[in-house]
Amino acid sequence: MPDFSFETEATDQGYTAVAGVDEVGRGPLCGPVTAAAVILDPDHIPDGLRDSKKLTDRKRRLLFTQIIETAMVGVAHASVAEIDEINILQASHLAMMRAIENLPKPADFALIDGNRAPKNLIIPSTCVVKGDDRSLSIAAASIVAKITRDDLMLELDAQYPGYGWAKNAGYPTKEHLVALKSLGITPHHRRSFKPVHNILYQEE
């Protein structure tokens, strides 16, 4: 279960605004990659924070509301065009940096989920592998990023029915792959991703 030890270690070193940062949406065939940065209030940490993938949608949404009410939150995206242009890893890092920049109070230290920090990050940081299961701030960021992106995919599903985005969030499920072949590629599909690229290539 995640705890506050990474955050405490940073504050013990003199940092005063420690942000947990996570992203969601590296694997889908469509839609943006979304990142969130969260600075928790140590005196008002919502109960039950953990990796968003291990929570029900109902629990995620309850925690999302509590995080928004008690913490400082920044959210950002990197677009499909940016993903196709600079690759998904670089786009994920771009979204992370934008999320940090969008915080209402500047962070002076970042806890980054994963094993690589964005190259151009201008504040000190620590990478935390499986951070959403180890750091409460990163767990909070994972919940905010997932709810934000899921809701965006719900909106896109209403505009482009048939791909199942409301359920699969753009991931390559069987329903999505079948629809890709029968309905074709939308402006929101990532053309650099193999299943999409292969269909484009076949159509040429």
Q: What average pLDDT does the chain have?
A: 96
Name the pairing type of β-strands 109-113 and 33-39: unpaired
pLDDT band at 201 (very low <50, low <70, confident <90, very high): confident
Cβ neighbourhood burial of 166 (10 Å; 0-12, 13-18, 19+): middle
pLDDT band at 204 (very low <50, low <70, confident <90, very high): very low
Q: Fold for 5-148, please state it.
A: Nucleotidyltransferase; domain 5 (3.30.420)
Closest listed residue to residue 5, CA positions, set 122, 116, 179, 136: 136
- pLDDT at residue 203 is higher than 60: no
Distance (Å, whole) CA 53 – CA 62: 14
Across 133-140, average pLDDT: 98
- Position 193 pLDDT exceeds 50: yes
Beta-sheet strands, E only, within the chain: 18-24, 33-39, 72-78, 109-113, 125-128
Query: What is the model's pTM?
Result: 0.96
**CA atoms within a 13 Å half-sphere pointing along the CA-CB vector of 174:** 0
User: Which residues sit opposite 125 in a β-bridge?
Assistant: 110
Query: What residue ranges do the domains of the chain occupy?
Result: 5-148
The dihedral sign for the CA sequence 53, 59, 61, 66:
negative
The pLDDT assigned to 200 comes to 84
Q: What is the pLDDT of residues 1-52, one digit of tens each?
A: 999 999 999 999 999 999 999 999 999 999 999 999 999 999 999 999 999 9
Question: Which of the four pLDDT bands, split at 50, 70 and 90, describes residue 151?
Answer: very high
Directed axis angle between helix 194-203 and helix 174-183, to 10°? Answer: 20
Q: Which of 92, 59, 65, 62 is nearest to 76 (CA)?
A: 92
